[in-house]
Structure 1
Amino acid sequence: MVFSFSLVLFTSPVAAHDRAKALEQEVLELKKRLIAIQDELSQIRTDSSRVEQQVIENKQAIKEERVIVQQKIESEKEVIKKAILEESPRNMIFFRGGWARQDHHHNGISVQSGVAPVGAQQQAPLNAWYVGAGFDFGLTKDTWGLIPKTELIAELMFEYKQFGTVLGNALANEPTQLAGGDLNPRHVTSSTVTVSAAPKIKFLEGYRLRPWIIPAGLAIHIISPPSETITFFQPAVMFAAGADYKLWKNIVLGVDARYHLMGGHLDGLRLNGLTLGGYLGIGF
């Protein structure tokens, strides 16, 4: 009996110690699992925050991109609107003035004349001043698709040139010497009125500075005094070149040079000549 009791007393503490050890091991395992679960939850929270932040950033980026796109659209609208408002007009009225010179003197019925070689017999000057006006009618902005940025224009123009005043011959004498009068010449003004129609090729459509040429145009000259055979009209071919610059809105300032070629003598007249000057244009 004594031996059995001693064995029980010896065995019980050992078993209790083993159970305590096992229990402590289980607690440690549970603690490790809890820590792992906490780490996973923390990682999930971190990932969730990162994803949420990314979503917020993406939303902000989309919003900013939308604003930028809207601003670009508005800017393009303004550019298009401004381009429409500032588009070069198809038509223009212009006013010209400048200097002119004939290649030959203008003889006539009441100035120097071989038909009536009596009286003062002065020749009209070669140099003149001129004024004029005209219209440009736009036909196409790209020569019907053949040449980009090259406009074809129909020009209709008239001008007045005055070469000066001279003393007239017997037919401009008061009274005429042909009727026995004394030398008392009147003043005779030599002038020319020109009406022309021509195709004008204008380059650099859309630019402020635009050169142009007229390869050939028709000009009709009305001369005063008339020729010695009383011819008033004389046709010619007109060649021209120039350029204009857009000052503001539809107002342009330009310069041009034109040459009129008569092509021969018409009733004793040969009035080939040059004009150099400037013009002010208003588009419409």
Structure 2
Amino acid sequence: MKYLSRNKKLTVNFLAGSLLAASAMAAPQVVAGEAAAERIRQLEQSLQAIQVELQRMKSESAQAAQKVKSIEQTATQTEQKINQTEKKINSLEERKDALAEKVDPLTQRIGTDITEKTRMLHFRGGFTHQMNQRNGSSIQSIVAPVGAQDQAGQDGWYVGAGIDWGLTRDMWGFMPRTTVFAELMFEYKQFGNHVQGNALANAPTMLAGGSLNPINVTVSQFTLTASPKIKFFEGSKIRPWIIPAGLAIHVMSPTSEAITYLAPGIQFGAGVDYNIWKDFFIGIDGRYQLVNKTDGVNLSGMTAGGYVGIGF
């Protein structure tokens, strides 16, 4: 019995030692497995973090690509606008060139002949006509109906001169190439110099008992005017002009039967200048003088003639 009991103990001890040895041998493998699991978990976390970062970078890349596309679209639109603007500029330049081609011949025709002076001295002459026949203190008279009662004709001739002084080249901004001048002019008109005089123009006078011996009387008129003159087409060789209205002072000879010799009136006129060479001009004009009847004498009349002008 003691022998069997001793064998059991030996067997139990052997088994316990084997288990202990097996446990000792298995412990490192368990520890190693846990370390591997920990490393796997850490790798998974790192992979997840890498995936998150990749997603973020992908999103940012997509946004950047969208911005680049937007910039490209904006650049394309800007380029199109630039091209359209260049086309418009080219069109304007073509129009400008075409206009220059049209203007150049005019400039070549004008050349240096027209100096565009703003002042001109002109000398006038031509035909004049009175609307009414003249009476007066020394010709036909209702005050002294003694002696020859003669009248001058209604037609005559005139000479005169004047000066144009430029005020504005564009009618004070209202009309381009339209010059306004101030004209100061005087003229002498004659309607006859062999008109037989009445008793006051008789040698000796019939009022003192003399016989009929009338002397010749010259019927004339002096006119001084101040008028605005509007000339069109500055820069052209041909420049028409008008006088819308101007002041005129007339001196009659012989005087009226009331011994009046001054009569105010209004002047209207129109004409055209032609530049013949450098500052030299020729022209034609017509003028009408409207005058109220003064002491039985009506000086209303007209003139038509030509003139020569010098610009300075």
TM normalised by structure 2 equals 0.64
AA matched with 1:233: L
- When residues 243 and 86 of structure 1 are mapped into structure 2, their CA distance, relative to the original with a 3 A threshold, is closer
After the TM superposition, which segments of 4 or more aligned residues of structure 1 sit over 2 Å from their partners? 82-87
CA contact (8 A) 2:227 2:245 kept: yes
Q: Distance in 2 between matches of 1:130 and 1:86?
A: 29
2:123 pairs with 95, 102, 124, which one? Answer: 95
Q: Distance in 2 between matches of 1:207 and 1:140?
A: 17
Q: Where does residue 241 of structure 1 map in the other structure?
A: 270
CA contact (8 A) 2:190 2:218 kept: yes
Write out per-residue CA displacement over residues 92-129 of structure 1, whole angstroms, 9 at most, x where no aligned residue: 00000000000001110000000010111100110110
Q: Where does residue 249 of structure 2 map in the other structure?
A: 220
Q: Distance in 2 between matches of 1:123 and 1:181?
A: 22
Write out per-residue CA displacement over residues 46-66 of structure 1, whole angstroms, 9 at most, x where no aligned residue: xxxxxxxxxxxxxxxxxxxxx
AA matched with 1:237: I
1:178 pairs with 204, 207, 210, which one? Answer: 207
Structure 1 segment 16-95 matched on structure 2, within 5 A? 86-95=114-123
Q: Distance in 1 between matches of 2:225 and 2:161?
A: 11
Structure 1 segment 201-212 matched on structure 2, within 5 A? 201-212=230-241
How far did 1:282 drift?
0.2
Identity percentage of aligned residues: 57
Q: Where does residue 281 of structure 2 map in the other structure?
A: 252
Q: Tell me, yes or no, if structure 1 residue 154 matches structure 2 residue 182.
A: yes
- Residue aligned with 2:172, SS: helix
How far did 1:172 drift?
0.1
Aligned residues: 205
Q: Where does residue 138 of structure 2 map in the other structure?
A: 110
Q: Where does residue 191 of structure 2 map in the other structure?
A: 163
AA matched with 1:150: T
Q: Where does residue 47 of structure 1 map in the other structure?
A: none
How far did 1:88 drift?
1.2
- When residues 185 and 85 of structure 1 are mapped into structure 2, their CA distance, relative to the original with a 3 A threshold, is closer
Q: Distance in 2 between matches of 1:167 and 1:153?
A: 43
Q: Distance in 2 between matches of 1:108 and 1:85?
A: 50
TM normalised by structure 1 equals 0.70
CA contact (8 A) 2:114 2:277 kept: no
Q: Where does residue 272 of structure 1 map in the other structure?
A: 300
Write out per-residue CA displacement over residues 176-205 of structure 1, whole angstroms, 9 at most, x where no aligned residue: 111111000000000001000000000000
Q: Where does residue 125 of structure 1 map in the other structure?
A: 153
Q: Distance in 2 between matches of 1:234 and 1:84?
A: 45
Q: Structure 2: which 5+ runs fail to align? A: 1-103
How far did 1:86 drift?
3.5
Q: Distance in 2 between matches of 1:85 and 1:213?
A: 24
How far did 1:84 drift?
7.1
AA matched with 2:289: H
Q: Distance in 2 between matches of 1:267 and 1:140?
A: 40
Q: Where does residue 187 of structure 1 map in the other structure?
A: 216
How far did 1:83 drift?
6.0
1:232 pairs with 248, 255, 261, which one? Answer: 261
Q: Tell me, yes or no, if structure 1 residue 143 matches structure 2 residue 171.
A: yes
Write out per-residue CA displacement over residues 12-69 of structure 1, whole angstroms, 9 at most, x where no aligned residue: xxxxxxxxxxxxxxxxxxxxxxxxxxxxxxxxxxxxxxxxxxxxxxxxxxxxxxxxxx
